[in-house]
């Protein structure tokens, strides 16, 4: 199991387009992938766009990424890169 803390850097936060990118990448992996909001009780499946949107993660929100499975290292690397790259958006 790998746990990683992420901070949303995008000016627009984790909005619908960014959430769709996250779900698309997470869905490529067999591992169980969860996102937890660090300042609340919300835990969601990272392969569910509705779950991701429920996080209401604006810029600066800290999330914990929890990945468990045989491809957890590759999944962690891909998802951390996506968030660090601001979901491929300029803002």
Question: pLDDT tens for residues 27-77?
Answer: 999 999 999 998 778 899 999 999 999 999 999 999 999 999 999 999 999
Number of domains in the chain: 1
**7: confidence class by pLDDT, cuts 50, 70, 90:** very high
Task: Note if 2 is an active site residue.
Answer: no
Q: What would the two tokens of residue 41 be?
A: 């009780």
Say which residue the tokens 């300042």 belong to.
39
Q: CATH code at 54?
A: 3.30.1340.10
Q: Give the range of the structural domain holding residue 13, as residue numbers without chain letter.
A: 2-88
Q: What would the two tokens of residue 64 be?
A: 């914990």
Annotated active-site residue in 2, 9, 12, 15: 15
User: Do residues 20 and 32 touch, judged by C-beta distance below 8 A?
Assistant: no
- Provide the whole-model pTM: 0.92
What's the rounded Cα separation, in Å, for the pair 59 and 62?
A: 9
Phi and psi (nearest 5°) for 78?
A: -65, -45
């Amino acid at each position: 199991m790998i746990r990683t803390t992420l901070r949303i850097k995008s000016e627009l936060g984790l909005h619908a387009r960014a959430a769709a990118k996250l779900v698309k990448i997470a869905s490529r992996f067999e591992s169980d992938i969860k996102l937890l909001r660090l300042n609340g009780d919300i835990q969601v499946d990272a392969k569910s766009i509705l779950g991701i949107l429920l996080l209401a993660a604006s810029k600066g929100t800290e999330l914990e990424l929890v990945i468990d499975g045989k491809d957890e290292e590759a999944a962690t690397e891909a998802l951390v890169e996506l968030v660090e790259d601001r979901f491929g958006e300029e803002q």
